[in-house]
Structure 1
Amino acid sequence: MFFPLIRCAATLMLACLALTMSAPASADMDKIRQSGSLKVAVYKDMAPFSSDDGGIDVDIADALAKKLGLKLALLPFPAGEEVGDDLRNMVWKGHYLGYGPADVMLHVPVDRFLVARNDKVEIFAPYYRETVRLAYSKDAVPRFDGLDSLQGREIGVEKVSIAAVLLLGEGDGKFRDKVRIYPTAVEALQDLKAGKLAGVLAHRSEIESVLRDDARFGIQQVAFQRLPAQGWAVGMAVKKEARDLAQALQQALAELTASGEMGRIFARHGVQPVTP
């Protein structure tokens, strides 16, 4: 005769637990709306996505905030040694110096291995697919027939980058003597435009934003054994429990894409949007 009472009590406890577990999600969104601002973390020195002069991610952050009826509070931050460090500092915990966390972080790789290693965040809403490309001078290389066409010629790369690792290790180091290391890919591309280099290996977005369809230069995909041909998608990250915020941002992004605003944002920076 006590079993029904026990079942009722258990059901009530489970219901209360479910409400408790879901509370932080709505509480986070309510807190954001009460503050009137959406705090968005973007990388420093990642042109054309974010820099002192703005960028694609900065414009996306502003558009998302407006869609949610909020002001934008931008939190630029320097990249850590690993993306996991950035997620800890800017999404779920905050930096030990007191900077962050933000409500959402942009330009997060949408990668299943990264997701598996970072269970305190929700990674979602991919909005661009990045790839590595080779930009080359048509004057220096009138007939392009693969990367070997630039052998013996100077090629620029950004320091501590995927492009640098790939090029320095390609063909047992056969390009190594002619690789020129630059602080940023933008600086390398500017030297390419000035005729000081034959080519630059960099992210497609970096190349497009600097060369801006200049007919003097070609842009080619080059196959590297250690690099996925399709590149990698980037999206957003919020705290794992901030489900309402994630849903609101996903909806806002969908509306920006459908209206053509996302395409216009990329176009302002000379970059072709690539749907993940």
Structure 2
Amino acid sequence: MTTIRALIAGACAALAMAGPAHADWQKIQQSGGLKVAVYNEFAPFSDKGQGIDVDLAQALAKKLGLRLNLLPFPAGEELGDDLRNMVWKGHYLGYGPADVMLHVPVDNRLMAANPQVVIFAPYHVEGVRLVRSARTVPSFDGVDSLAGKRIGVEKVSIAAMVMLGEGNGKFTPGVKIYPSAIEALEKLKAGELDAVLATRSEIDSVLRGDRAFPVHDIAFQRLPRSGWAVGMAVRKDDTEMAKLLQQAMNEMAASGELKAIFAWHGVQVVTP
């Protein structure tokens, strides 16, 4: 977790060095609402107005004494597009920007490439895991145990990229592409797949610790072994609101409220 701690330290330093700015926070207070951007079709975090990030947004708004104005949006081709559209500029079609965006990777390279925003308050560490059917894959000794097996992945995902490229494509014939990891995991439960490569949170939310589906931490060359932290982003000058949001997140982590929000959706929070 050393790399993640370094990223968090960098985010905190950036927040501390930013100059004071109160105007936007005053406008938000006067409006009475907090506009929070969350990804659409992103279960278990945000999908059809429900999920971990939706509940988290509601809790943050409540702590700030505001009502929640949720802004679900579709993911762009790059994270920089999402930060531009939902944090500091707004989309050319007219929606956004929000006051804060959730589920933003706390990443030094992302921060450097997007100086218009501050990324802070990491609240979860995500990672990719492999889950298998104990019935059809009774023993597991690394990824080679999946040779000839049916492996589900989400389209246009890091899991799909990794699985299709592993072993110079040796697993490609067995890889099945689904619109979402959740759908792939449901197929695994139904016996239509032998394994699924997905994020830890996606696996938790669908399988909820079912011992018939063991979960494995596998080292893939293209994936960070320690996972990646996700937090939130605001415009660089919105330091007053950032400090209040950071304080609210700290309180939720300390009180157990953050853990409870994740647990409600069957997911174990992994704090940085």
The verdict on a shared fold, with TM-score over 0.5 as the criterion, is yes
Is 1:67 the equivalent of 2:67? Answer: no
Cα deviation for residue 53 of structure 1 reads 5.0
Residue among 221, 229, 233 paired with 1:237? 233
Cα deviation for residue 22 of structure 1 reads 5.4
Matching residue's letter, 2:85: N
Distance 1:98 1:228 in 2: 36
Distance 1:69 1:22 in 2: 24
Residue among 80, 85, 97 paired with 1:84? 80
Cα deviation for residue 141 of structure 1 reads 1.1
Deviation sequence 1:133-156 (CA, Å, 0-9, x none):
001000011111111111101000
Deviation sequence 1:190-223 (CA, Å, 0-9, x none):
0000000000000110001000111211000111
Instruction: Give the secondary structure class of the aligned counterpart of 1:225.
Output: coil
Is 1:138 the equivalent of 2:129? Answer: no
Distance 1:146 1:59 in 2: 37
Match of 1:261 in 2: 257
Residue among 105, 112, 115 paired with 1:109? 105
Instruction: Give the secondary structure class of the aligned counterpart of 2:204.
Output: helix
Match of 1:175 in 2: 171
* Alignment size in residue pairs: 255
**Ranges in structure 1 where 5+ consecutive residues have no aligned partner:** 1-20
Matching residue's letter, 1:179: V
Largest Rg, 1 or 2 = 1
Distance 1:72 1:214 in 2: 35
Is 1:274 the equivalent of 2:253? Answer: no
Is 1:57 the equivalent of 2:53? Answer: yes
Deviation sequence 1:108-137 (CA, Å, 0-9, x none):
000000000000000000000110000100
Instruction: Give the secondary structure class of the aligned counterpart of 2:48.
Output: coil
Instruction: Give the secondary structure class of the aligned counterpart of 1:217.
Output: coil
Residue among 204, 211, 214 paired with 1:215? 211
Runs of 4+ off more than 2 Å = none
Deviation sequence 1:33-67 (CA, Å, 0-9, x none):
00000000000011000001500000000000000
Distance 1:198 1:22 in 2: 53
Instruction: Give the secondary structure class of the aligned counterpart of 1:125.
Output: strand
Residue among 20, 30, 34 paired with 1:34? 30
Match of 1:197 in 2: 193
**Ranges in structure 2 where 5+ consecutive residues have no aligned partner:** 1-17
Distance 1:97 1:133 in 2: 37
RMSD of aligned residue pairs (Cα, Å): 1.0
Deviation sequence 1:52-111 (CA, Å, 0-9, x none):
150000000000000000000000000000000000000000001110100000000000
Distance 2:250 2:41 in 1: 27
Matching residue's letter, 1:59: D
Distance 1:249 1:60 in 2: 11
Match of 2:12 in 1: none
Normalized against structure 1, the TM-score is what? 0.91
Between stretches 182-191 and 144-153, larger displacement belongs to 144-153
Q: Percent identity at matched positions?
A: 67
Normalized against structure 2, the TM-score is what? 0.92
Distance 2:271 2:259 in 1: 10
